[in-house]
Chains A and B, each alone.
Chain A
Amino acid sequence: MNKKITTHTALKVENLSIGYFSKKNTTVIADGINFKLQQGELAAIIGVNGIGKSTLLRTLGNVQAKLSGSIQLDGKGLKSYTPIEMASTISVVLTEPLASKNLTVVELIALGRQPYTNWIGKLSETDKTKIQEAISMVGLQSLKNKKCYELSDGQLQRVMIARALAQDTSIILLDEPTSHLDLHHKVQILKLLKQIAHKTSKTILVTSHEIEMTIQLCDKILIMNKGSHEFGEPCELIQKKSFERLFPSDTVAFDPKTGSFKIKK
């Protein structure tokens, strides 16, 4: 499909086990996760509610600690990164609401430059150029000076993507970037992400419930199931009948020809 000469591995996950530590016990949410993402790829993590998609994403973004296994960024272990190195390698777009919606669009995007600015956060000329690039890439020129509380959900999501872009990292992780959006805006966001990944050679990983859309738009898909996880290109996974196993067969059935789900009557 895509002619990519560079096969530089950006993110490599081996035998990863994720979950939560507490004083008494460890709760394993998912284990045995293996996948590899190349530079410039758009990938999706799909699976039923509660399977651990967000937990995996948070673990990759170092928001929470892994239980065991290895995560390598550019061939280097996640642990060896300092917080600032980490912040200039991975940026995130989370589902949690903004603490302050009083930020203007440009102020919010400028915050993405924090890992690069001095102790008081003064923006250099480079910072300003990067912010400008992010704004024009996501097409927010006309919304630049709006406050975040004035924006629609779809607009706000694009602003958050622009902030991640301004952070100028090789990897961007997005937790359910298309939730709460209508069909048009879902497609708009995913297409935008694909365009960013291919144009800027950034590796983008999203969690999503939009299986049909991710089949059409993503380069790689990780299907999380109880027990086993499958990873590969969408066509491969269709051939392996991986999508059929995603939901109990008495509610929906996957149609490999159209790449969509049909409700069982």
Chain B
Amino acid sequence: MENTAKYKVSLLLLILALVICFVLNISLGSVSIPFKGTLNAILGRGVAHDSWEYIVWNYRIPKAFTAILVGSGLALSGLLMQTLFRNPLAGPFVLGISSGASLGAALLIMGSALISSLFSYGMVNDVSLAVAASIGSFSVLLVVVVVSYRIKDTMALLIIGLMFGSMTAAIVSVLSYFTDAEKLQQYIYWSFGSVGNLSWSQLLLLLIIILIGIVLSIISIKPLNAFLLGENYAQSLGVNLKRSRYKIIIATGLLAGGITAFAGPIAFIGLAVPHLTRQIFNTTDHKVLVPAVLVYGAILMLICDTIAQLPTSANVLPINAITSIVGAPVVIWLLVRKKKMIF
């Protein structure tokens, strides 16, 4: 209670760091644009080269915004899942939502090749890919909701999520065994994850999805805090268990499903950011944690993206690999240092 002021200062500092990371992310890239030139382009002042303005506004800024949305959304969905499933290792991948998206994408890219007589070859594009991934993630979510209605045990739900992951991996390997190299490559590129391919209109759609997820999370803050005691205690505090669980699960699905649909599977952000945030904000109160993970997730994703684009070189590394390289050691470090993982 007395720490509220301290948390506010920390949050403000984090927001400041976010702004710095945002500008830094935009000013670095394969084409080297001087920092001043980037600032001028952002602020709409004249710049030395027209191409700079084009690069900044049509490539770098949408990419930076995508990174912010992806990082915030994944981090928030991770936080929701850790509390809901009472498991510090929960993240968007564990529920199987990301696996569902991967399955949708794999079926579209590789499955359409197998039955190419029925479909025209040109149907696999960014939009159809996003639709397929969304359908995949939401079908898994639907199954999870049905299962969670029948099984009260959240541990069983986690195992079911993991089984979805195995099933997806199996189907993908069967598909890739029969598919040609070109289609396989297309799927593998999707599974690398990317925040760079979104147009402004796609970005708007992603923004709406994530905002709905955030609003659902904010109205669930009180039940989320009660869930820290356990479900029976939450009920004894007057929480409507079923309705709260649905709200939180739908928020998770929208956040993780929507992001995976647009940006591909991106690992570890959802799992690691809530734990990193708890290092700064020494509280379990979701009133503090929800805004904090949103900002922290955005910062980490911007940093990962800055590394991924290998400034000044023409190569871009797969973002999914970078988040894993950054995320996995963080989780190990937390485990070793604190000897146990708690949420």
Report how many A-B pairs have Cβ atoms within 8 Å: 90
Interface residues of A in 114-128 (CB under 8 A from B): 114-115, 117, 119-121, 123, 128
A122's nearest neighbour on chain B, judged by CB, is B287
Among A87, A99, A149, A167, chain B packs the most CB atoms within 10 A around the CB of: A99
Is the Cβ of B228 less than 8 Å from the Cβ of A99?
yes
Q: How far is the CA of A98 from the CA of B284 in the complex (A)?
A: 13
List 25 interface pairs A-B (beta carbons < 8 Å), by A numbering: A61-B236, A62-B236, A83-B235, A88-B238, A92-B236, A96-B232, A97-B230, A100-B229, A100-B284, A101-B342, A103-B228, A108-B229, A111-B225, A111-B226, A112-B237, A114-B222, A114-B225, A114-B238, A119-B219, A119-B222, A121-B225, A121-B287, A128-B1, A149-B340, A167-B237
Number of interface residues of B (CB under 8 A): 30
A118's nearest neighbour on chain B, judged by CB, is B222
Known: A103-B228, A120-B222. A87 touches B238 (CB 8 A): yes
Chain A residues whose CB sits within 8 angstroms of the CB of B221 once the complex forms: 120-121
Query: Among B219, B229, B340, which residue has its beta carbon within 8 angstroms of that of A111?
Result: B229
Contact with A along B47-79 (1 / 0, CB 8 A): 000000000000000000000000000000000
Chain A residues whose CB sits within 8 angstroms of the CB of B283 once the complex forms: 104, 107
Contact with A along B273-291 (1 / 0, CB 8 A): 0000010000111010000
Contact with A along B220-261 (1 / 0, CB 8 A): 011001111111110111111000000000000000000000
- Quick check: is A263 within 8 A (CB to CB) of the other chain? no
- Quick check: is B200 within 8 A (CB to CB) of the other chain? no
- Quick check: is A213 within 8 A (CB to CB) of the other chain? no
Chain A residues whose CB sits within 8 angstroms of the CB of B225 once the complex forms: 111, 114, 121
- Quick check: is B343 within 8 A (CB to CB) of the other chain? yes
A88's nearest neighbour on chain B, judged by CB, is B238
- Quick check: is B183 within 8 A (CB to CB) of the other chain? no
User: How far in angstroms is the closest Cβ of chain B from A18?
Assistant: 16
User: How far in angstroms is the closest Cβ of chain A from B243?
Assistant: 11
- Quick check: is A63 within 8 A (CB to CB) of the other chain? yes
- Not counting A83-B240, A96-B232, A121-B222, a sample of 17 additional A-B residue pairs whose C-beta atoms are within 8 angstroms of each other reads A63-B236, A83-B235, A92-B232, A99-B227, A99-B229, A100-B229, A101-B342, A102-B284, A102-B342, A107-B284, A108-B229, A111-B228, A114-B237, A114-B238, A115-B237, A120-B222, A121-B225
